[in-house]
Amino acid sequence: MSIAQARRALIGRASAPYRPSGRFAWHFARGKLNRDPVFTALFERGWIPNGARLLDLGCGQGLLAAWLMAATRIWEQGGWPAMWPAPPKSVHVRGIELMLADVERANAALGGSAQFECADIREAGFGSADVVVILDVLHYMDYAAQDSVLRRVRTALDPRGLLLLRVGNAAAGLRFRISRWVDHVVTVVRGHRPGPLYCRSVDEWRAVLECLDFRVEGHPMSAGTPFANVLLVARLGGVTS
């Protein structure tokens, strides 16, 4: 199976459980999984290990969990592209999301296959995790709250744990301004009232994480889009020169 065929199969399988929740949930799942490069990158780079306890902060309607489960099924059926590492298996996903409607869609689609709860990540308990994923979330809260969440992520992670944090690079000029405009439009379309955004440059995010003893790699994560997104892959174990 080619990568293109695998992606089509993954999108179909991962979005199918959202059909009973209505056209919006299904179309949103298909559109997001098709256009957002971060989902494919997770498999290409092999960042999530087998058996990981994965904490998805700001999980929305649970697309990451659906994507991982779809990958396992395709692998078991022998349809995985040889160019990708094997997908992670037996991953336990716990998602925390502020919007109740998203949590209800996640639970309706994925049932007991993953755990989803409606809570504010500024206050919710994180428990313990091997991998924490935060995609396009922290800029909605003020800087003090961002720092607090990241400190608690540091505490929750296993000593060999991994944080996957996607942010918009506030130093990216026009592409960043486009990102903010699209963020505003999507917020309105989904029925929410836009509030202030608290953005940082990639260098500023890196400095915050290194102060928490993370080693940080930056990976551009907006291929095929006009955005200024970067995925910060942060591993515990101290800063290296």
Q: What is the CATH number of the domain that holds 90?
A: 3.40.50.150
pLDDT tens digit string along 47-100? Answer: 999 999 999 999 999 999 999 999 999 999 988 988 899 999 999 999 999 999
The Cα 13–Cα 5 span in angstroms is 12
In this structure, is residue 190 part of a structural domain?
no
In this structure, is residue 142 part of a structural domain?
no
Burial of residue 181 (CB within 10 Å: 0-12, 13-18, 19+) is exposed
Alpha helices in 1-142 (DSSP H): 3-15, 23-35, 37-45, 63-76, 100-110
In this structure, is residue 194 part of a structural domain?
no
Confidence of residue 177 (pLDDT cuts 50, 70, 90): confident
How many structural domains is the chain composed of?
1
Residue 192's Cα: distance from chain center in Å?
A: 20
CA atoms within 13 A of residue 19's CA, in its CB half-sphere: 7
In this structure, is residue 241 part of a structural domain?
no
In this structure, is residue 144 part of a structural domain?
no
- Residue 220 in contact with residue 227, Cβ under 8 Å? no
Model pTM above 0.85: yes
Residue 60's Cα: distance from chain center in Å?
A: 9
Check the CA dihedral 161-87-34-26 and report its sign. Answer: negative
In this structure, is residue 67 part of a structural domain?
yes
In this structure, is residue 17 part of a structural domain?
yes
| Residue carrying structure tokens 């697309």 | 63
The Cα 241–Cα 55 span in angstroms is 29
In this structure, is residue 91 part of a structural domain?
yes
- Residue 141 in contact with residue 64, Cβ under 8 Å? no
Confidence of residue 190 (pLDDT cuts 50, 70, 90): low
pLDDT tens digit string along 128-137? Answer: 999 999 999 9
Buried b (16+ CB within 10 A) or exposed e, 186-213: eeeeeeeeeeeeebbbbeebbebbeebe
Confidence of residue 139 (pLDDT cuts 50, 70, 90): very high
pLDDT reading at 241 higher than 90: no
* Domain that includes residue 98, residue range: 3-119+126-136+149-180+201-236
Confidence of residue 186 (pLDDT cuts 50, 70, 90): low
